[in-house]
Amino acid sequence: MTGASCVTVRVPAKVNVQLAVGAARPDGFHDLANVFLAVSLFDEVTATAADALTVSCEGPDADQVPLDRTNLAARAAEILAARAGIAPHVHLHIAKSIPVAGGMAGGSADGAAALLACDALWKLDTPRAELLDICAELGSDVPFSLVGGAALGTGRGEILTPVDAGTFHWVFAVAHGGLSTPAVFRAFDRLTADTVVPVPRASPELLAALASGDPDALAATLVNDLQPAALSLRPELADTLAAGTGAGALAALVSGSGPTTAFLVRDAESAAKVAAALEAVPTCRATRPTTSPAPGATVVAAF
């Protein structure tokens, strides 16, 4: 509980170190075995008492972020307010560093952050389990944004089991433009139409490598079943992946549905080298060296 009129929540981006995708279900969703890892690339959402529900956004991709009720931060505020029987009167300001439509769950992150910020601003003290239910209602990746750290997601990705993770260093290469997650899943369906898609299962080798903190072991086990689909829509991402491994990255993969690419590196020194090489590649718009795991959505200021 706070007596604040302004609450700021910091929330991390994620990378999927394993993204195993099953065949399309009758409801159109895909079963997933999804190992989420939160990385130290953060958005901040500030909730301020207001007379109406409004959203603003700052950051390099701000012009691509919807400021209406379709923004996941606004939807989070609306759902929370409806459950509490109050009007969703709040101004939500998003300081955005997570690439938009980049496969790093930026919108989901803002949804989780807004939920936590409004809960504190409105002094609701909603039980954690209920906040997680609202997150799952908002989207498959939203519960993990609240929880952070490292977790195995099953079902559509929203059923979370925490897993152990040592510290790892990463470089993310932000691409030009975004990719629509549904479009990437449709490409996955096309590419796998004539094959028997195995039931997705978490890899024990990958979970052991993640817990060990050994980057060579993790590099050998990283897997993203959506990567061929993302590359079929954006073939030029292959150049970015090759540039990172050429500069010494231990492994390279498309982050989630892309088009952001993720490079696992040995240490901060290697991260700087890989980032410099990626900056020279025309398919790379910007680089973000990070570490993992990062904490989930956290109140960082209330006044």
For the annotated catalytic residues, the residue numbers are 14, 141
Residue nearest to ligand ATP (CB): 107
194 CB-near residues (< 8 Å, 6+ apart): none
Terminal alpha carbon distance of the chain: 12
DSSP secondary-structure letter at 28? S
Nearer to ligand ATP by Cβ, of 71 and 270: the residue is 71
Binding site for ligand ATP (CB under 6 A): 65-66, 70-73, 94, 100-108, 110, 141, 178, 181, 256-257
Enclosing H/E stretch for 20: strand 6-24
Could you tell me the smallest distance in angstroms from the CB atom of residue 71 to ligand ATP?
A: 4
Nearer to ligand ATP by Cβ, of 101 and 165: the residue is 101
Structure tokens at 164: 């152990």
Where does residue 184 fall: left (phi above 0), alpha (psi -120 to 50 degrees), or beta otherwise? alpha
Could you tell me the smallest distance in angstroms from the CB atom of residue 168 to ligand ATP?
A: 19
Report the interhelical angle of 106-121 vs 72-84 (nearest 10°).
30
Side chain identity at residue 56, one-letter code: S
Nearer to ligand ATP by Cβ, of 66 and 166: the residue is 66
108, 72 Cβ separation under 8 angstroms: yes
Nearer to ligand ATP by Cβ, of 72 and 275: the residue is 72
Cα 117–chain centre separation:
19
Could you tell me the smallest distance in angstroms from the CB atom of residue 229 to ligand ATP?
A: 13
